Every structure is written in structure tokens, then in C-alpha cells.
Amino acid sequence: MTKAPIAVALDAPDLAVLRAWSRAVAPVVSTLKVGLEVFCRDGAAAVHAARLGASEVGSADVQIFLDLKLHDIPATVA
């Protein structure tokens, strides 16, 4: 199956949900995105959970995009 050129935001409430979402979508998308709020809350464990979830379903080749930009959304820096 060809993966869609889509990035899915994994803005999950906790690492278990993030990992589950990663398992669910990694087989069909090209990129998983970990955002600023999740990264600030969970640190590198969020990236690891995304990678682990993808690996569990045979999608270790999925890209992980760590989106830490601050000034694109005013509420982020307010």
C-alpha cells in the first residue's frame, strides 16, 4: 500500500493515547507530527512513543516531525 503524503498531528492527552494513535495511522500516512504542547509536557518520550507505536505495526519508516515553532499561533506565546 502506498502511504498518503499526509502528516497527522499526535496532539494526544497522554503518551498511551499518542502511541495508540501512532499505531492506528502510521501504516497509511507518511509523517507523524509531535507538537509543542505535547513535547513540553512529555519531552523526548513523546517522540519515542510515536516511533514505538509506528514500529509495532511495521511502519518504522514513517517520518516523525517535531513541530516546535512558537510564533505561528498567537495563543502559543501569549
Nearest to 37 by CA among 72, 65, 62, 13: 13
Number of structural domains the chain divides into:
1
pLDDT of residue 78: 59
Which residues pair with residue 33 across a beta bridge? 9, 65
Q: How far apart are alpha carbons 62 and 64 in whole angstroms?
A: 7
**pLDDT score recorded for residue 69:** 83
- Whether 69 sits among the annotated catalytic residues: the reply is yes
Tens of pLDDT, residues 3-53 = 889 999 999 999 999 999 999 999 999 999 999 999 999 999 999 999 999
Residue range(s) defining the domain that contains residue 27: 4-77
Exposure b/e, 5-25, CB count within 10 A at least 16 = b: eeebebebeebeebbbbbbeb
* pLDDT at residue 77 in the model: 63
pTM of the complete model: 0.85
Cα-trace Rg, the chain? 12
Which residue among the candidates 69, 71, 75, 78 is catalytic per the annotation? 69
